[in-house]
Amino acid sequence: MKFKLMTLTLIILALQVGITYSLTLDEALNLGRQRSLRLETPRLDRMKINGQVTEAWSNALPQVEVTAALQTYWKPSVVFFTPPGSSEPMPVQMQQDNGALAEATLNQPLFTFGRVGAGLNAAWAARKSNDHLLSNTVRSLELDLAKRFWTVLLLSEVVEARRSSLAISDSSLRRVQRMRDVGMMSDYDVLRVQVQANNQIPQFQQAQNNLRLAELSLKELMGVPVDTALTIEGSLSDYLLAVGDDTSVARLESRDDLEALRDLTDMYRNLYVINRNARLPILAGQVKYSWMWSNNEWAINPRNNVSSVYGGIALTIPLWTSGKVAGQAQQSRSDWQRAQLNLTQAQRGARLQYEAASSSYHTALSSEEAAQSAVSQAQAARSIAQTKLAQGQITPLEMDAARLDELVARVALAQARYDRLSAAADARMALGLKPYTN
């Protein structure tokens, strides 16, 4: 692990200082896992879920509140009354004292009819779901990285084949022009070869552009600057990817995406329990400490501060909520049932996904074998053409045609290898395995 981290650090430093680095698939996967922005969303969700777990625990633990107040009377109040034997009201000024109040209250839920436990279970289920979701996102990222890496290798071979085809066509054109000058070829023959050569130019340019775009796409997914000097190491023939044979129900059911949906369903079930039991009472204990002070100067009560401690229990009963509790319970029950439906659909689709990927994989294997056979035949045809050319039985143009046929066969083989690797990675992904392993 330390060696991998050190290697990854050196790669990042080399990319930052502008050194051209030859990248392997394993290094590309490590870079993507460390720098890709695709993993940031589940990581941020994990921070939110950790806060929800803390909040759920707080509902089961004591709550302490402190209140402080200070009262200052700026203007004394005046009371008017009419004394006996007089018809005129007399004002009397009432002396009011400044005062301070401080209270500390401790509340402890004692019995909540399962709401606190359901909240904790929902929070833990959400955390487990996020763990599986993050693992599935990492595997999806690795799948896309591997495919983009193999796409670069495929297009590199296509570019080289197009370059060779263009060189062969140019050589054929120059040869035909010389033969026309000595009267061995007509202008019509020259035009045919010239059209063939010109047709190679847009194909070569398009292949170069496709390769450039594929490299940019790979860099973006790895999280490195798109102007980074980077070369891709290896060829498609270097990768042999096997598909697991364990296609049992247990293997398919243990996929991270299905586990995430199961935990999500459990979370919604506990949320429904919370909202359903909101119509039931809550029993809580309370301890309260109070301290009061005033600038009282009466002789009858010379003390100007007093403190007291209270203790008791409180029973909160929601008698009438105008349908609020019932509406929230109905909504959460709908969310729970929708999560169950999503899980059922995903379970049914898991087998179909594997069968489709497995069928594509076996088709790609057959196509690769056929393409390999075509390359062997093209090589044999080129070898025969070289012998006949030396014996004067065919023209150089026919030799060039044999060479072009071999290049076309090699491009088809590269495409078949890419299809086989992509299908194998998809099949491994459908089984819940890592899409690539060396």
Question: The CATH number of 2-35+112-280+318-430 is which of 3.40.228.10, 1.10.10.10, 1.20.1600.10, 3.40.640.10?
Answer: 1.20.1600.10
**Among 17-21, 61-65, 248-252, which is the least confidently predicted range?**
17-21
Instruction: Give tens-digit pLDDT for 188-222.
Output: 877 887 888 888 889 899 999 999 999 999 999 98
pLDDT band at 2, cuts 50/70/90? very low
Instruction: Return d(Cα 361, Cα 49) in angstroms, integer.
Output: 39
The domains of the chain are located at: 2-35+112-280+318-430
- Cα distance between the two ends of the chain: 16
Instruction: Give tens-digit pLDDT for 87-119.
Output: 777 777 666 667 888 999 999 888 888 888 888
Instruction: Give tens-digit pLDDT for 26-52.
Output: 888 998 988 888 888 888 888 888 888
Mean pLDDT score, 243-257? 77
